[in-house]
Structure 1
Amino acid sequence: MLYIILAILGGFLTILSMVVNANLAKKVGVFQGTFINYVVGSFIIFLIVLFIQDYSYINNLANIPFYAYLGGTIGVLVVAASNVIIPKIPTIYSTLLIFIGQIFMGIVIDYFRISHVSKGKVIGGVLIILGMLYNTNLDKKRLIDENIISEE
């Protein structure tokens, strides 16, 4: 149960982080905002590591495969992309699109790691895409009906 709660909290914090970072990026620039995000995050994790005082990982750094270090690079790209995306489209759509990307990347990773793809995951991902498209069309129709936007 603890892991479920932590996963949900992680989801809340991810979206909150994206919105906060996008607002920062609007004020200082996309890459500058991303830089500030990682400098502050690095400082915080540095303090946490100092507080924990467990430095045993240092002996294992040479044994870690190079691709394991790509997480930071990927994280920077995620933050920079969300800094561009969040101000442009509603947060709910950004969240759903990111979720869809996560589902399908999970399917790809599962395929390469365990040579199996769950039909349920694929069907679920397609249903989410169809639901989002349906909802987007309803929103657009409502905005046209209320003369908030014009038909294109």
Structure 2
Amino acid sequence: MIYLIISILAGVSIVIARIINSNLADKIGLLEGTLINFVTGLMLSLVFLLFSSEAVSFSTLDFTQVPSWAYLGGAAGVIVIFLSSYLTPKVSAFYLTLFIFIGQLFTGIVIDYFTLGELSQGKILGGLLVLFGLVFNLRIDRKQEMRSA
């Protein structure tokens, strides 16, 4: 039961964060809002690290052992926050959540393929069903907009 509550709270926090980021970007600009988002995230991450029981030893780190693609996570985060802040006022929360879900699902499938060498037919089928449902719903919404205009 606790995991269900945590997952619901995580989903709620994502929607709230999108709204806050969008409002911030509207007030100070997209790039500035994205920068503030990452600086705030860095500071909070450092606070959590300081109060966690994890031991960090920088002397054993060898950054040359880290694959170069691993450093793209930060760039991907910047792109996601930037696009989310830009699209939130323009797209309904329902569609934006579906777009993000579909993007995460297919990115996970691609990562699984390149790291594990496997393709999950169930995940692909599920993702395609959600994608087709989204396209179908978008078409219905467009037809209703045309009728009412």
Q: Indicate the TM-score class for this superposition, using the shorter chain for normalisation.
A: 0.7 to 0.9
Question: What percent identity do the matched residue pairs reach?
Answer: 39
How has the CA–CA distance of structure 1 residues 122 and 74 changed in structure 2, closer, same or farther, with 3 Å as cutoff? same
Aligned partner of 2:40 in structure 1 is 40
Q: Distance in 2 between matches of 1:114 and 1:40?
A: 34
**What are the superposed Cα offsets for residues 18-65 of structure 1, whole Å, 9 maximum, x if unpaired?**
221011101111000001111222222222222236442423432550
Aligned partner of 1:146 in structure 2 is 148
Q: Distance in 1 between matches of 2:61 and 2:10?
A: 27
Letter in 1 for 2:91: I
- CA RMSD of the aligned region, Å? 2.3
- Of the candidates 61, 80, 83, which is equivalent to residue 82 of structure 2? 80
Aligned partner of 2:17 in structure 1 is 17
Letter in 2 for 1:94: L
Aligned ranges 1:97-116 → 2 under 5 Å: 97-116=99-118
* Unaligned 5+ runs, structure 1: 148-152
Aligned partner of 1:31 in structure 2 is 31
TM-score scaled to structure 1, two decimals? 0.81
Q: How many residues align?
A: 147
Letter in 2 for 1:41: G
Q: Distance in 2 between matches of 1:110 and 1:67?
A: 15
